[in-house]
Amino acid sequence: MREALEGSLAIARAVALTKPDVVAAYPITPQTHIVENISKLVADGDMHTEFVSVESEFSAASVVLGAAAAGARAYTASASQGILLMSEVMFNIAGLRVPLVMTIANRAVGGPLSIWNDQSDSMAVRDAGWIQLHCISNQEAVDTTIQAFRIAQETDLPVAVCMDGFVLTHTMEVIDIPSQDEVDAFLPPFEFAGALDTANPRSMGTLVDPNYFPEVRHSHHAAMGKALAKIEEIDEAFAEVIGRASGGLLTVDGPKKAKVGIIAMGSVVGTMMAGREHYGGEVGEARIVKLRSYRPFPAKALRAAVKGLDKVIVIDRAISPGMGGVLGTEVSAVLSTLDKAPKVFNYALGLGGRDIPETMYRDLLTTIEAKDAPRFAVFDADLEKLPPEDR
C-alpha cells in the first residue's frame, strides 16, 4: 500500500512486518522515531514482540545478542555515539556469527558534538564483521530492512541497514509498504542452527587461544565473501514476490560512453542524479555508481562498473583524519589492480550534515578538469572560516 510516511515510521512498520521476537533499543537522535514508533505499535497491540527498554546502547546490543543466540528473531537500532557505545558488543555479535538486524540512522560522531548526518558512525565499525547495506531512499530502506532479516539468517551474519539521519529518517516520502502476506511469502520463520538449547547444552563465545583464532577470522572473512552472492540472490527473490529490487550489490546509472564516473553511498546518490539531470548538458553526463553493499565490499562488481572510465570521483560522507576519505581509499585499492585504472579523485562532502546542493554535481565535474585538481579534499570546506595556518 502506497502511503506518505516519515522514514522512521516506515522503518518501524517494515520491522513489524518481519515479526521479530525481541526488540531492544535506547533512543538517540536521529534514530529515536524508529524505536518510538515500534514501541507505539507494541503498545497499541499492532505488533507482537518483546520490547525491551534498556539504559544504554551497550545494553540494547547485549539484549539482542542474547535473544538471537537463544533462537529469537531480534532487532535494534542506533546512531552516532550510540554505535560507538555498543561497538564492543557489535564485534561480539559478528564474531559469534549471530544473525540479527540493526538500523543505523547515520549521524556524525563527535567531538565536537553534532547531531546531523554523515556516515562516520557506520564507517567507524566497518571492520566489526557486520554486513552493511546503504540506502538511497526511504523506499529502499524499507525494502532492504525486510531483506536484511533473510540475509542474516541465511548467512549467519548480522546486518546493518544504513540510512542517512534526518535526510531520510525525518523526511516524508510516498512509500509502498508490502502487505503482511507478501512479507510472509518472502521471509521464512526464523531459524538459527547455532542457537543455544537447554536440552542440548553447549557453549558460545568461549576463550579462543592463538591455536584457533586465525581460523575463526578466516571463516568469518570467507562467510562475508559468500554473502555477496546471497545479497544479490535475496534481492532478486524479493523482486519476485514484491515486484521491485533494491539493486543488489551496486547499480550503475548513466551513459556507457561516459568517461567520468561518480561513486557514492546513501542519499547523496539521488542528489548527484538530480544534478546530472540539471547540469549534464553543461558539464557532461557522468556514470553514477550507487554502492549498496559496503561490507562485504563488491570489488569485482565495482571493477566492472567503472570499465571504460578515465576519471572517477568518490564521494565520502566521512573522513579518516591523517589519511583522507574512507570509501575513497578502499576504491583506490580495488581499482589499482585494473590494467587501465581510472584516475581517482576522492572528495569528502556534507560532513556534520552540511547541505549538498544539486550544483555540487557541476562543481565536482568542473574541478577535476583542472590540472592541479586535488586527489583528496574536504570539498565543501569554507577556508575563510579557518585561521590562516589551517587553510
For the chain, what are the domain ranges?
2-242, 250-390
CATH number of 250-390: 3.40.50.920
CATH architecture group of domain 2-242: 3-Layer(aba) Sandwich (3.40)
The per-residue pLDDT for range 76-113, each reduced to its tens digit, is: 999 999 999 999 999 999 999 999 999 999 999 999 99
Q: What is the pLDDT of residue 38?
A: 98
Rounded to 5°, angle at Cα 299 from 333 and 128 = 85
Q: What is the pLDDT of residues 312-341, one digit of tens each?
A: 999 999 999 999 999 999 999 999 999 999
Do 2-242 and 250-390 agree at the fold level?
A: yes
Q: Each residue of 37-75: pLDDT tens digit? A: 999 999 999 999 999 999 999 999 999 999 999 999 999
pLDDT confidence of residue 253: 97
End-to-end C-alpha distance for the chain, whole angstroms? 52
Could you tell me the pLDDT band of residue 248, with boundaries at 50, 70 and 90? Answer: very high
Q: Is the pLDDT of residue 203 over 90?
A: no
Phi and psi angles of residue 265, each rounded to the nearest 5 degrees, phi first: -130, 145
- CA dist 258 and 61 (Å) reads 45
Output the CA–CA distances (angstroms, integers) from residue 173 to 2, 155, 210, 361, in the order listed.
Answer: 10, 31, 51, 23
Q: What average pLDDT does the chain have? A: 97
- Average pLDDT of the residues in 266-271: 98
From CA 331, how far away is CA 38, in angstroms rounded?
A: 37
Q: In the structure grid, which three cell numbers stand for residue 210, read together?
A: 592463538
pLDDT tens, 205-232?
Answer: 889 999 999 999 999 999 999 999 999 9
Confidence (pLDDT) at 269: 98
pLDDT for res 202 = 87
Read off the DSSP letter of residue 342: P
**Rounded mean pLDDT of 364-385?**
97
1 pLDDT exceeds 90?
no
Query: What percent of the chain stands above pLDDT 70?
Result: 100
**What does the pLDDT look like over 181-202, one tens digit per residue?**
999 999 999 999 999 999 999 8
pLDDT score, position 255:
95
